[in-house]
Every structure is written in C-alpha cells, then in structure tokens.
Chain A
Amino acid sequence: QLQLQESGPGLVKPSETLSLTCTVSGGSISTSYYYWGWIRQPPGKGLEWIGSIYYSGTTYYNPSLRSRLTISADMSKNQFSLELSSVTAADTAVYYCARRPGDHSSSGPKHAFDIWGQGTMVTVSS
C-alpha cells in the first residue's frame, strides 16, 4: 500500500529557506504518468497547491510562489523535495505531499490527489 511521509524542520527563521522531503513507500515515484505534489494549509485557512513534479522530472509551480520555489526528486531514495526561499510568517502552514495520477496512469483516479501524507507543521518565526 502506497504511503507518503513528510519530514523536515518544524521551525524556520524569516528570510531563510524552508526545506521539506516526502518519502514514498510501497511504490516508486518513477512509475510512469504520476505527479507528486505539495499542498499547504495555513492555520485556520484553506488548501493551496504549491507545485508538482512529474515522473519524468518536469515541474509545475504555483505562479504565486514560482520565484521562490524549487521542487526536485531523488529517484534512488524514492523521495521528492520542496525548497521555498525567503520565507515570511505568511509561509507558516501545514505542508502536505500527495500523489496525483495523470492521464495514462495504470491505476488511481485521474487528475486527483488521491493519496496524501499526514502533513507536517512548519512555523516561520525568529
């Protein structure tokens, strides 16, 4: 059974870089036609898509975060990562990683985030 687990520092100082990793077990992030995404949720607020990386390595970013964002993948470790630079208090949120099957994926609901990690809280504060 596929599982995703976020990890990283729970506290980041303003102006520094937020770095998180999502470790995937029970399946491979290199499997064709799947996207691997990051979504965040500020305390008491709604969900915001941050960005995704396709199995091929192509990345897709939220335009509002693109200038500060890098998403990458390490196939050997079956992990994908998020780096968000120049953080402010507005970046304080629970960060989730999730899988999204694409058009030609072999299983799973197409174009929906179907499997999520439990989430990790990141606070930006000095």
Chain B
Amino acid sequence: QSVLTQPPSASGTPGQRVTISCSGSSSNIGSHPVNWYQQLSGTAPKLLIYGNNLRPSGVPDRFSGSTSGTSASLAISGLQSEDEADYYCATWDDSLNGRNVFGTGTKVTVL
C-alpha cells in the first residue's frame, strides 16, 4: 500500500557496509527531500537522516543518505551490533492533495 518501496531485509557482519534502497516516484522522492528513521525494537522511531543527506546532532557519521531521481538510499558503514533495527524512508507525496508517506521498512540484521 505504501508508495515508497524498500527491501524487507538486509544484513551484514560487524564492520561491513550495508545499503538500503527506497524507490518512489516523481510525486514524492523526485520532488521532495527524503528522511530516514531508525526504530529499535519496542521503541519509537528516531530521526536518522533529513533533507536527503543531513544528520541530526548525535547521529554518527557512519550513517549517510543520498538520492538519485526517484530513488533514495541509506548507507551504514562500519556496521555495529547496535545498528540492528528497522529503517524507514519517508517524504512528502503530492498525490491525493498531499500527504506524508513512509517506506515499507527494512529490517537490518547484524550477523
């Protein structure tokens, strides 16, 4: 149902680089900045990346975001055990008179 599509899962060993994709369209990612949220088990989502590639204070520089056309990506370099969480992309969508939309979510597992 979501207009933003993410792979359901991704994994890596400690120290590896993991990339999560977020596929959208011209009415959302193609027109508006993308944000990424990290949700640890049983907790509220936490803002990880905003404005496509900006990190809020306190977010390690291991996390980086990028966009290209109607797609966005989140990269985690130097994967750590505490990075095991669900990750969601999000942006504004111009269709249906406008709405905030979230991606389908990706579960990152640290092997």
Contact = CB atoms under 8 A, between A and B. Distances in A.
Contact of B45 (A37, A52, A60, A116): A116
A116 B90 CA distance: 15
Interface string A37-70: 1010000001111001000000010110000000
Interface in B83-111: 88, 90, 92, 96-105
A118 interface: yes
Contacts of B103: 46
Contacts of B43: 118
A24 to B, nearest CB: 15
Interface string A20-41: 0000000000000000010100
Candidate in A37, A63, A113 with the most chain B CB atoms within 10 angstroms: A113
Given A46-B2, A47-B88, A109 B47 contact: yes
Contacts, number: 65
A74 interface: no
B54 A46 contact: no
B99 A114 contact: no
A47 B37 CA distance: 10
Nearest to A113: B47
Which of A37, A39, A46 has the most chain B CB atoms closer than 10 A to its own CB?
A46
A75 interface: no
Given A96-B44, A119-B44, A112 B102 contact: no
Contact of B46 (A52, A110, A116): A116
Contact of B51 (A63, A112, A119): A112
Contact of B35 (A112, A117, A118): A112
Nearest to B46: A116
A13 interface: no
Interface string B11-43: 000000000000000000000110101000001
Interface of A: 37, 39, 46-49, 52, 60, 62-63, 96, 109-114, 116-119
